[in-house]
């Protein structure tokens, strides 16, 4: 006869309710770990998805994910000529917020280096990659857009041709992929009145100098499209991503950029480290701290529960001692109850988590290693929690059963 099972049957209602409560607490611990993993994975989804070996960014900046980085489009051709570089592509990334269906729609805009990159490496779950160099987009499912739906951005309509999953920014906003030209058109879109006023201002500045007054053609040119004026630069890109030839070491190619005074070059690992230690670092540390605190709180609560259950059994424990039961029997009773409670609570937390976590606004990524690690922690907590009850039980005198 197992005394632990028999005692649980004696007060099964209280044991079940207590176990469910502990299970809910363990579910929160499990969820905090999943949120931590999901935050890190979401932050790296773009850097890993583009398949870059090197990131070429504006001098003394930390890349397009940490701060503003602007490079001329001609930088792509310069990077492509460096020995060891297999190919180079432009990279555009920024965040916008629009109103769609009467609700705010916030998204990260990812510009792909068309035609070399059509989005085939993105995690597509429906649709296809980009097939044209204009007016098509691939949207993450969190944006709520359907295949074939058209979205007005700037002065153009863009058709959704592909749907991805878990492609979000470090802030949790869904990402939409366009060609780099379309991404820049969205980024630098201006109202017509703003464009007209800027052209008139250029004409006024040109008319104030002798060259403008003696050359009427300059005044007409100043009121034209900015891209037609040689002195004005075109839209800037965020970075240049380079893929290296097989067998080429990234550090060796980085040294070739050492003489370039207008760029800074990072390897893929360095860019990921900058991202994790930059925009998401505080959130990661805060979630990790909450996870540690919840684990400690779980241990304290389980210890108090086991201690309370032991107090309710002091008379039976004294009776066991009176009839000559060895101490290992009493220790086994308390320890087994604690382990059974921890195991059932862990199962309850896991089952409830499977139903609840998919409804969270951000991804909760619970891995097998995390589950095994948490199971070990729960068993350790169960053993440590039983020590308080065992200590109290060992102090019970046999004659208390008579009193």
Do 207 and 291 share a domain, yes or no?
no
- Cα–Cα dist 43/279, whole Å: 9
The answer to whether the beta carbons of residues 79 and 288 sit under 8 Å apart is no
Whether a cis peptide bond, with omega within 30° of 0, leads into 150 is no
- Burial level of 264, CB count in 10 A (0-12/13-18/19+)? middle
Do 240 and 290 share a domain, yes or no?
no
The last residue of one of the domains, among 251, 276, 301, is: 276
Instruction: Give 102's pLDDT tier (boundaries 50, 70, 90).
Output: confident
Do 255 and 361 share a domain, yes or no?
no
Do 319 and 296 share a domain, yes or no?
yes
Do 119 and 51 share a domain, yes or no?
yes
Domain count along the chain: 2
Do 59 and 196 share a domain, yes or no?
yes
Do 8 and 120 share a domain, yes or no?
no
Do 311 and 362 share a domain, yes or no?
yes
pLDDT above 60 (res 160): yes
The last residue of one of the domains, among 276, 307, 335, is: 276
pLDDT tens-digit map of 193-215: 665 676 666 666 666 665 555 56
Q: Which domain holds residue 262?
A: 47-276
The last residue of one of the domains, among 228, 258, 276, is: 276
Do 209 and 234 share a domain, yes or no?
yes
Instruction: Give 1's pLDDT tier (boundaries 50, 70, 90).
Output: very low
Do 319 and 208 share a domain, yes or no?
no
Percent of the chain with pLDDT over 70: 85
Which residues are registered as beta bridge partners of 139? 163, 176
Q: What is the pTM of this model?
A: 0.72
pLDDT tens-digit map of 334-375: 888 888 888 999 999 999 999 999 888 888 888 888 899 889
């Amino acid at each position: 006869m197992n005394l632990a099972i028999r005692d649980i049957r004696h007060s099964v209602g209280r044991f079940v309710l207590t176990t469910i409560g502990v299970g809910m607490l363990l579910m929160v611990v499990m969820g905090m770990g999943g949120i931590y993993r999901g935050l890190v994975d979401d932050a790296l989804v773009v850097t890993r998805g583009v398949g870059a070996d090197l990131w070429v960014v504006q001098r003394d900046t930390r890349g397009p994910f940490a701060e503003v980085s602007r490079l001329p489009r001609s930088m792509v051709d310069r990077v492509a000529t460096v020995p060891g570089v297999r190919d180079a592509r432009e990279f555009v990334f920024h965040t916008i917020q629009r109103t769609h269906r009467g609700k705010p729609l916030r998204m990260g805009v990812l510009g792909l280096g068309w035609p070399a990159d059509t989005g085939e490496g993105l995690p597509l779950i429906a649709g296809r990659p980009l097939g044209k160099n204009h007016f098509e987009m691939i949207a993450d499912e969190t944006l709520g857009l359907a295949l074939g739906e058209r979205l007005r951005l700037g002065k153009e309509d863009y058709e959704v041709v592909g749907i991805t999953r878990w492609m979000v920014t470090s802030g949790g906003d869904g990402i939409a992929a366009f060609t780099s030209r379309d991404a820049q058109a969205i980024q630098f879109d201006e109202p017509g009145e703003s464009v007209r006023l800027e052209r008139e201002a250029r004409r006024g500045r040109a008319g104030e100098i002798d060259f403008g007054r003696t050359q009427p053609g300059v005044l007409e040119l100043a009121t034209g499209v900015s891209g037609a004026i040689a002195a004005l630069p075109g839209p800037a890109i965020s970075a240049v991503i380079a893929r290296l030839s097989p067998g080429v070491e990234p550090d060796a190619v980085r040294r070739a950029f050492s003489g370039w005074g207008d760029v800074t070059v990072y390897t893929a690992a360095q860019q990921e480290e900058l991202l994790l230690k930059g925009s998401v670092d505080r959130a990661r540390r805060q979630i990790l701290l909450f996870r540690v605190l919840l684990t400690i709180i779980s241990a304290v609560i389980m210890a108090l529960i086991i201690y309370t259950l032991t107090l309710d059994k002091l008379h039976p424990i004294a009776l066991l001692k009176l009839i000559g039961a060895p101490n290992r029997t009493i220790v086994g009773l308390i320890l087994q109850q604690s382990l059974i409670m921890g195991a059932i609570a862990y199962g309850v937390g896991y089952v409830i988590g499977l139903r609840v976590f998919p409804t969270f606004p951000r991804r909760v990524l619970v891995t097998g290693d995390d589950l095994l690690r948490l199971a070990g922690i729960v068993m350790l907590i169960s053993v440590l929690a039983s020590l308080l009850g065992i200590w109290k039980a060992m102090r019970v005198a046999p004659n208390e059963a008579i009193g």
